Amino acid sequence: MDTMEAIRVRHSVRQYSGRPIPEDIRLELERIIEERNKEDGFSHVQMIYGDPTCFDSFIAHYGKFDGVQNYIALVARKQEGAMERLGYIGEELVLTAQKMGLNTCWVAGSFNRRACKAKLEPDQKLYAVIAIGYGMTRGKASKSKDFDAVSKTRRQEAADWYIRGVEAALLAPTAMNQQKFVFEQAKEKARLSTRLGFFTKLDKGIVRYHFEAASGHEVESQ
Ligand SMILES: Cc1cc2nc3c(=O)[nH]c(=O)nc-3n(C[C@H](O)[C@H](O)[C@H](O)COP(=O)(O)O)c2cc1C
């Protein structure tokens, strides 16, 4: 499966079987994490395996999570740009996991933050987690906004690469499926801004990853 296929078939999955993640997949995810953490010098993303407690709370069950044993802890130093960067790294991991047959769900609200096993330095923060494992289902497609609702550039005036990018961004996960992002074509690049909402900075990094992967063109974050 390539990245485009992974973008198309990915849906949030909240119920997991107990099947452990094989060693080769773990190593590949950890390799990417190590590289990305090193690249920016402020991210401290971590994989946690075999820990049911992070999703073992009233709010997690209320949020319909079940059987979550593994998660990616999105930790970074508290600083400008940290959330967008974590969104970007996290979505690379989500799509990599999807390609290798795993399922995922981004979670910024409905998990037990205090029980989370991530290691934090005093100047770092746990921004969100991503549940990961073999899903009981593959999830289902969510309702999506139209192209023109998330693009200042009209479809008929846009380049093909830009249309591919926006369409891939429309398939990206966003907090509460809010899709509060706006793209605009600017010559050979795209500009991206977000409207007011919850966790929109994480969303911004996530949709930027989808856009760049699908279009091969750079996104300038505004
Ligand atoms: C930043 C972010 C935070 C999220 N937080 C939660 C959460 O706390 N609880 C939950 O059940 N789903 C959460 N989600 C999953 C979204 O609800 C889901 O991505 C959205 O409804 C679209 O569905 P899809 O991922 O299947 O396309 C979150 C997603 C993102 C991107």
CA of 157 to the centre of ligand 1 (A): 32
pLDDT of res. 104: 98
Q: Could you identify the atom of ligand 1 that is nearest to the CA of residue 13? A: 26
Full 3-state SS string of 182-217: EEEEECCEEEEEECCCCCHHHHHHHHHHHHHHHHCC
Q: Over the Cα atoms of the chain, what is R_g?
A: 17
Residue pLDDT, tens place only, 45-90: 999 999 999 998 766 666 689 999 999 999 999 999 999 999 999 9
Provide residues with CB under 6 Å of ligand 1: 11-12, 63, 105-110, 128, 139, 142, 173-177, 199, 202-203, 206
Q: Could you identify the atom of ligand 1 that is nearest to the CA of residue 11? A: 26
CA of 107 to the centre of ligand 1 (A): 6
pTM over the 0.95 mark: yes
Could you say which residues of the chain have pLDDT below 50? Answer: none
